[in-house]
Chains A and B, each alone.
Chain A
Amino acid sequence: MELQAVLMAAGGGSRMMDLTYNTPKPMLPVGNKPLMWYPLNLLERVGFEEVIVITTKEVQKMMSTDPKMKLEVKMKLDVVCIPEDTDMGTADALRHIQQKIKTDILVMSCDLITDAALHEVVDLFRAHNATLAMMMSKAHEFTETVPGQKGKKKTAEQRDFVGVDESGKRLLFMANEADLEEGLSIRKSIMRKHPRMHIKTGLVDAHLYCLKKSVVDFLAENKSISSIRGELVPYLVRKQFSKAANSQTTKDEADEQSQKQKDGNVNLDLHILSRDEPLLQLAQAYSCWNDHRGDMSDAYHGGTLRCYVHIMEQGLCYRVNTLAAYIEANRLIGSDSIIGAGGQIAEKTSIKRSTIGNSVTVKEKVKVTNSIVMHGVTIEEGCNIQGSVICSNAVVGRGADLKYCLVGNGQRIEPEAERTNEVIVGSDQLMEI
């Protein structure tokens, strides 16, 4: 088998607590399908037959009852539950399932909605025998007004600085703004090997990683790494150019301080594990190909650890981890409007560019524009809902006028209410921090 797919569906959705305090993020409806249906659909379309899904018990229960998941997902889902109270990072989760992993893995996050051609990422991984191959996409500006946002200024998201080489495929540098307090410093060794580097900031990480099996084994040894995105990927990118990468004498470097020695051994392990077999090295020596030119070194500068990135220029790629992204994704999936099954829509209603969930009751003379209405909602007569998100089982009273609001789960909006740009949630949710 070549690749095993791992879907991370245990995330809490910390950036959209208003939506996720009742419904876990993987099961949030987007276009009337649960959010995790989209990455699973992508994997199925590409040809995977089995996926390891790492999630919580709550989500597993919801998955087994959801009709879409049962009918439309034909792959074998191997669900691994992790306890909810522990704060497990994605890398910790990989360590948890280390026993199940027999080959290289493709790690995806449940909040990725994309139509990318996966073979481009996997081809980079295969052709260059890379340790890591990931996908990024040009970020889109979200134009829709987000309910509950005061004022125009968006909170400055921490930017990612991504450095790629001339060809745009080799990943040379990756850091988050939060880690760069004193400024962005680049090692001289990197500049010497790759004199032309392009640094990009407007990229969205799709959280789709192809990792070699040796990385998983390395994670099992090295328990200090807990997040793939935050720690493992920058570590691997840095390790490409570390001194141990080029030195062939491995055992001699154990004569250092104990702390360094431990790190040193661990570092060397990753390089030893990544080294190509002798016949492959012979083939590379005979081959007249080089990935760079202008200096005297061999292909890949003799390095055994390589990280590649595929940057999508066109196409859809959304990470649904903020409210704005959620609204945008819904807008895109439903080209005009989607109305779920089992509901009742009375006459003289107008529904434009909205997503209506299952079992929704809409009474007469209601105008719903640019909104997301989740399952089980009741909207009484004469309401006017614009640009809002109404979570499941809410009730909107007669004649209410909601503009750019977010109504939480099970909330009741009193009749003739007029709310603009508000987040209406229950008092128990307000207590959560």
Chain B
Amino acid sequence: MADSGVTDGAEKKEDITRVKNEGKELSKEEKQRLRKEKKSQKKNKEKKDEQDALASEREKNCAPSTLSQPAAHKEPAASPPVQAAVSEPPAPAAGAPPADKPAKSKAELKAERRARQEAERASKPGKKGDPGPQSTAGKPKAPPSELQPVVKRLPEHVQVDNPEVLKKLAKKLERQQIPLRSDYGYKVSLFSHLHQYSRKAPLTQQLSIPSTVIHPVIVRLGLQYSQGIVAGSNARSVALLHAFKQVIRDYVTPPNEELSRDMVNKLKPYISFLNQCRPLSASMGNAIKYIKKEISNIPSQCKEEEAKTKLQDCIDRYIREKIVLAASAISKYAIEKISDGDVILVYGCSSLVNHILCEASEKHRKFRVIVVDSRPRLEGREALRRLVKHGISCTYVLISALSYVLPEVSKVFLGAHALLANGYVMSRVGTSQIALVAKAFNVPVLVCCETYKFCERVQTDSFVSNELDDPDDLMVTRKGKTQLEGWQQVSQLGLLNLVYDVTPPDFVDLVITDLGMIPCTSVPVVLRVKNVDQ
């Protein structure tokens, strides 16, 4: 029935407008509700238009005063008054004296206007979702993004060339009392929407030395991130969780506050600080989401000490299950894929791949490894050291020699920084090259990744969202001479030091996770299963 549908819909409409105003994402149920809404609104509008036309006809003939009163009563927009208002006029209309003709016209106009406003108000939420013809102009100021309620806002870290976004960021950091790190050097135009910082200008320059605003453990962690002492997705996550354990240990609930709400607020400036030191990785983001959820799930009657130990146990369990045990599960699966006499190619230094290879050598598989490395990080040297220490025979080449060594390679093992929701693999820059050339040589590419690194983002290229490292890292000093020393003075020269790149799923043959060995296209399934679990 149109009526009940409309009244029900009205309450839900309120909810939906409220949710939209708060800027939260619409969940599936809300989206379904919205769709139903739109349908009923369309029906409603048609009916209203009819009745409006009828009403305006009748208004011209009946007493306008009685019309305006019921219309006035129905002004609060709780339920669409149009139908009620429209149904009422015929009744009193007949009894009203047709005496005041000139006043009628003024009141007539008023009533018409009011009826029109009511119609507007009733159809406004429907109109928002309705791309159809709009009978009256809605608020002219409605920004275009609000027309599609499901568009997510762009994260600020990919909008660095937008001065408004920068202003907002500066204001937010000022509120949290965290210094703003300024960008450094000329940015290549394709990547001018990303931050680029210099390692020689650490964030601690602007902090007071016994740091009071930010917990000292977090300052130390931020320094270690920005100087590259803690690098690698797993290492950063474990260090972050360790730091959070210390923060929780030292936390004291202020009076009149609840631990579950206040602690999350305390963590926000720390996360902004760490983000300023080095952009957060996908695994860190997932870990933070997990902690925030755990904190908000603490019941309010829980005592502080108990809550703190519970949270620390949660963190320990997360690390144990998602990182350590996942690594052993993955190596178990991966070792099945390593046969005797294999030549395995690895790229850079992935803690997981190193772990797999060390376990395989302990299980007495006979294989040799080719370590491919690239400038400027030259992380392969560290991987080489660890593998050789375990007694694995290794070859070391730079990435430019890739096509020369591939004919003798039997499989390629790659680590991942994150797995995106459309099956793309985000990893250290150079990985997509390796996957591409391996595909051309028909060498199977296996990506090893724990499930906690799966993220809901979707990306098809490496430009949209990436990390720009310090451009001065590209300078090399040989025999006392640095060729690129004055690169900032050359106006047309820009140095680009990318950190990540994205590999399409067509080049990846298998993803080995702790849930098993899955094809790259099954990543969204895993994500959906994870979300349902939570």
Contact = CB atoms under 8 A, between A and B. Distances in A.
Q: Is this pair of chains taken from one and the same complex? A: yes
B208 interface: yes
A370 B381 CA distance: 59
Nearest to A4: B210
Given A282-B238, A296-B388, 15 more contacts: A1-B216, A3-B210, A47-B210, A48-B208, A119-B202, A119-B204, A126-B219, A126-B220, A127-B223, A128-B229, A284-B235, A286-B232, A286-B234, A287-B229, A288-B349
Nearest to A290: B382
Which range contains the number of A residues in contact with the other chain?
20 to 34
Contacts of B383: 288
Contacts of A118: 209
A277 interface: yes
B235 A288 contact: yes
A342 B158 CA distance: 61
Contacts of B433: none
B385 A283 contact: no
B231 A288 contact: yes
Contacts of B242: 277, 279-280, 283
Contact of B211 (A2, A5, A277, A287): A2
Nearest to B229: A289
Contacts of A288: 231-232, 235, 348-349, 351, 379, 382-383
B227 interface: yes
A296 B231 CA distance: 19
Name the prevailing secondary structure of the B interface residues: helix
10 contacts: A2-B211, A3-B209, A5-B210, A46-B208, A282-B324, A285-B351, A288-B232, A288-B235, A288-B382, A296-B389
Nearest to B388: A296
Interface of A: 1-5, 46-49, 106, 117-119, 122-123, 126-129, 277, 279-280, 282-290, 293, 296
B220 A47 contact: no
A285 to B, nearest CB: 8
A5 B210 CA distance: 9
Interface residues of B, number: 40
Contact of A126 (B223, B234, B319, B351): B223
A119 B230 contact: no
Given A127-B220, A288-B232, A289-B382, A283 B205 contact: no
Contact of B235 (A123, A286, A296): A286
B426 interface: no
Interface string B202-240: 101101111110001001100110011111101110110
Contact of B219 (A2, A106, A285, A293): A2
B245 interface: yes
B412 interface: no
B446 interface: no
B241 interface: yes
B209 A119 contact: yes
Interface of B: 202, 204-205, 207-212, 216, 219-220, 223-224, 227-232, 234-236, 238-239, 241-242, 245, 319, 324, 348-349, 351, 379, 381-383, 385, 388-389
B240 to A, nearest CB: 9
A127 B382 CA distance: 20
A122 B209 contact: yes
A174 B245 CA distance: 37
Contact of A47 (B208, B229, B235): B208
B205 A279 contact: no
A280 B382 CA distance: 19
Contacts of B228: 289
Nearest to B239: A283
A64 to B, nearest CB: 25
A4 B202 CA distance: 22
A1 B210 CA distance: 7
B204 to A, nearest CB: 5
Residue among B210, B220, B388 facing the most chain A CB atoms (10 A cut-off) = B210
A277 B239 CA distance: 11
A274 B210 CA distance: 21
A13 B379 CA distance: 52
B238 A290 contact: no
A123 B202 contact: yes
A2 B202 contact: no
Contacts of B385: 290, 293, 296
B238 A127 contact: no
Given A48-B210, A119-B209, A122-B209, A286 B216 contact: no
Contacts of B319: 279, 282
Contacts of A282: 238, 319, 324
B463 to A, nearest CB: 25
B269 to A, nearest CB: 16
A286 B219 contact: no
Nearest to B226: A127
Contacts of B205: 117, 119
Contacts of B351: 285-288
Contacts of B381: 293
Nearest to B205: A119
B382 A283 contact: no
A289 B242 CA distance: 18
Nearest to A104: B216
B209 A47 contact: yes
B216 A2 contact: yes
Contacts of B207: 47, 119
A250 B241 CA distance: 29
A279 B223 contact: no
B309 to A, nearest CB: 16
A2 B209 CA distance: 8
A5 B209 CA distance: 10
Nearest to A5: B210
Given A1-B210, A3-B209, A287 B219 contact: no
A112 to B, nearest CB: 16
B515 to A, nearest CB: 21
Contact of B209 (A48, A284, A289, A293): A48
Nearest to B355: A286
Contacts of B232: 286-288
Contact of B204 (A3, A123, A129): A123
Nearest to A126: B220
Contacts of A126: 204, 216, 219-220, 223
B391 to A, nearest CB: 11
A127 B221 CA distance: 8
